[in-house]
Structure 1
Amino acid sequence: MLVFLMISTITSQHWNSEESLFPHTNGAPGKILHAIQTSQIALVDNAPKGTQLKLLLLLEGKQKIYFKPKRYNLNHVINGNIYGGFDRHNSEVFAYYLAMVLNFKWIPPSVIRRIHIHKDIVPVATAGLKRTMVKNDSGSLCIYGKCFYCKINETVCPDSNGEIEGAAILYLDRQFKIHKSPWRRSYSTRKMEWETDNDFCKKVKGILSAKRLLNLIDVAIFDFLIQNGDRHRYEVYKDQIVLLDNGKGLGNAMVDELDILAPLYQCCILTASTWQNLEMISGGILTDTIKKLGALRGHTLATEEHFKAVERRLLKVYATVQYCIGKHGRSKVLKNGFL
């Protein structure tokens, strides 16, 4: 029960840190992950909004979590558009550990969890959720959910053990300010202004604060490493971008969509502390750390191909920053939080 009291406190408005979304001392992250991975489920419902299937779980202690179910095996390759396919549950958890290694502390805790359809879901499912449950040809009870793209013929079904694997993500009961990203995609063949204007960053500098622009560049590096090309909008809390909805990463280990890095190579600026953090995780340290963090909770978060891809993309981030330094000079590229 002490863990639930701790979570309730840190997810409320009483956590007033300007440095992070959650406490990162005295083992707090591990305690939070353990609680959302193992706590008894008191209620299960369809999540109230969104484009893809996810469930809203109420745990004992009245803490809510989102549950994004597994849609693909880890080795499944998503071809086509960088934003294509269902969300990848492992990408959500991988993104959390990646953010921790990069010292990006504005992301909700996320962990792999398995829930039993008949033991954990059906007894506490709402009537609304039960209406979106159907049996498949083999007699298994499956869920198609309620969302913008949810279809009755695109269900999530339990495995041979009756369990559904997914990402358990701590629900943030907070008011976020939502903004359109200047580097958002059109989701069509139409080109956006940033894709055709080499001086696009000058316009962004005239609209956004230096702090926000540097924050967006940090996010672009983060998204490039996992190949999340779907951050068309971003949420802000305490004047910091919160890394929500990271499920479109880890789609194709063979693809490096360089235009995700556009904020970096068009603006050629970067927070000095971010560059220091990036330099410290070279030579395989980044992915080795993520592997170890995942193993602590008993999970493999990506294929070896994806881990190699993240290291390859990290080298491209280094090359981009060095290109900017060579072109503009170190003092003009690396910033201490201001321009």
Structure 2
Amino acid sequence: MSLNYAFAFSLFLLLLVGLNLYFFYALNTTGKKPLPYTQPNVKLDLGPSVFKDIYTYFNYLPKQYKTKNPKFIEKQRDLISLFNSSAGTNSKDVLYETEKWVSDESLFPHTNGAPGQILQAIQNSQIALVDNAPKGTQLKLLLLLEGKQKLYFKPKRYELDNVIKGKIYAGYDRHNSEVFAYYLAMVLNFKWIAPSVIRKIHIDKDIVPKATLALNKTMVKNESGSTCIYGKCFYCKRNETVCPDQNGEIEGAAILYLDRQFKIHKSPWRRSYTTRKMEWEEDNNFCKKVIGTLSLKRILNLIDVAVFDFLIQNGDRHRYEVYKDQIVLLDNGKGLGNPTVDELDILAPLYQCCMLSSKTWQNLELLSGGSLSETIELLAGYQGNKLATEEHFKAVDRRLMKIYATVQYCIGKYGSTKVLKKN
């Protein structure tokens, strides 16, 4: 074979490959337009091929995921009836019945307007005693109500438009994230979460006269003469206080105390909180090891939690609590930090295991086209709560699209029968 002939033949092969590539590209992009979302910051140091594949599916999702699902109308109407029902109820009776609730389906009653009644009771019940809640890493108070029920109170640390930069677990807990997480769980049909609502407490009327001696010891006066609290916790410091606003009130998340016995487990997908990488961060086949140690039900439960955490960007679930063989969604204050960042590695349980409960998938598909954020905002409004900025609401809908894309990536890789599991 002469040199000229070999060169000509090589050129022909290159041309043939180029034409095939162009044909494939044209075939896969005809009639498709990329989503009108600007791409937020994404980490590409973990499994870059996985992330790139997910983003490919994200940019070319079918139309059904970009528009509202008409099947959701009835479900939204049912949710509204649950939260827009509070008149004519006695707060003590509501909380007493809630405290005695026994069910394998949920932590609290979720029919006949019960959620709205519970939130109204949490928001308005008289406070009998206030103490430090020493467990945990950040300041929170324990409120004893006149009916003897208890609430955790996580005070406001940031304005809603404050953007938390840095690590996914950076900053103080966000009180609005705790409440947002509750409504999110209700819309997702995740019923293993404590009811939570925004409440304002007057420092001189509701706290100082009813404070325990231990709480009094963690109070100081600021330069303007207002009483401030620094509390008792792992990271509590005397110079990092919570002070009342100009009306003498402290805003926070009032969370119904769960008087239950939980079993605590370390999450397989926990972070190291140092520069050291965990095994799951370096091995995209990590799920094979998890499958050998946990039941399918528990793995699917952990994947549900990952979906939940990804939507609010809570990357701080290093452990999880279990009650009646269900993971309880506690400590959701590290969400809603930065609406421009989507940490895809929170979804590692989903894209590494490529499994999802079929019930969860059906619920997620109903929430397309902005229905998720719209419903959360609507339900929170019945308790007078503004929980997030418009940027955060948009971010939640955008992240839902990325969950769709991740599931489609898994289905494309393994088929729907292997990915979607009945449980």
Q: TM-score range by the shorter chain?
A: over 0.9
What corresponds to 1:202 in structure 2?
A: 288
Q: Distance in 2 between matches of 1:152 and 1:3?
A: 36
**Letter aligned with residue 229 of structure 2:** I
**What amino acid does structure 2 have at the position aligned with 1:331?**
T
Alignment equivalent of 2:179, drawn from 93, 96, 102: 93
Question: Take 1:203 and 1:7, find their aligned partners in 2: how far apart are those partners?
Answer: 43
> Residue 44 of structure 1: which of 104, 107, 130 is its match?
130
The aligned counterpart of 1:7 is 95
Identity %: 79
CA deviations over 1:112-163 (Å, ceiling 9, x no partner): 0000000110110001101100011111110000000000000000000000
Q: CA deviation at 1:16?
A: 2.5
CA–CA distance in structure 2, aligned partners of residues 48 and 135 of structure 1: 21
Stretches of structure 1 lacking an aligned partner (at least 5 in a row): none
Post-superposition CA distance 1:40-88 (Å, at most 9, x none): 0000000031110000000110000000000000000101000010000
Give me the CA root mean square deviation.
0.9
Following superposition of structure 1 onto structure 2, how do residues 245-324 of structure 1 map, counting pairs within 5 Å?
245-324=331-410
Measure, in 2, the Cα distance between the counterparts of 1:64 and 1:219: 26
Query: What is the identity, as a one-letter code, of the residue corresponding to 1:9?
Result: E
The structure number with the bigger radius of gyration is: 2
Aligned position for 2:217: 131
| Aligned with 2:301 (options 191, 196, 215) | 215
Gaps of 5+ in 2: 1-88
Q: Which segment drifts farther, 290-299 or 243-252? A: 290-299
Deviation for aligned residue 1:2: 4.1
Q: TM-score, normalising length from structure 1?
A: 0.98
For 1:35, the aligned partner's letter is: A
Match of 2:203 in 1: 117
Aligned residue among 108, 114, 126 for 1:22: 108
Deviation at 1:185, TM superposition (A): 0.1
Letter aligned with residue 336 of structure 1: K
Give the Å deviation of 1:9. 3.2
Question: CA shift at 1:17, angstroms?
Answer: 1.0
Q: How many Å apart are 1:5 and its aligned residue?
A: 3.0
**Cα distance in structure 2, aligned partners of 1:6 and 1:139:** 38
- Give the drift of 1:97: 0.2
How many residues align? The count is 335
Dislocated runs of 4+, deviation >4 Å: none
Which structure has greater helix proportion?
A: 2
CA contact (8 A) 2:94 2:121 kept: no
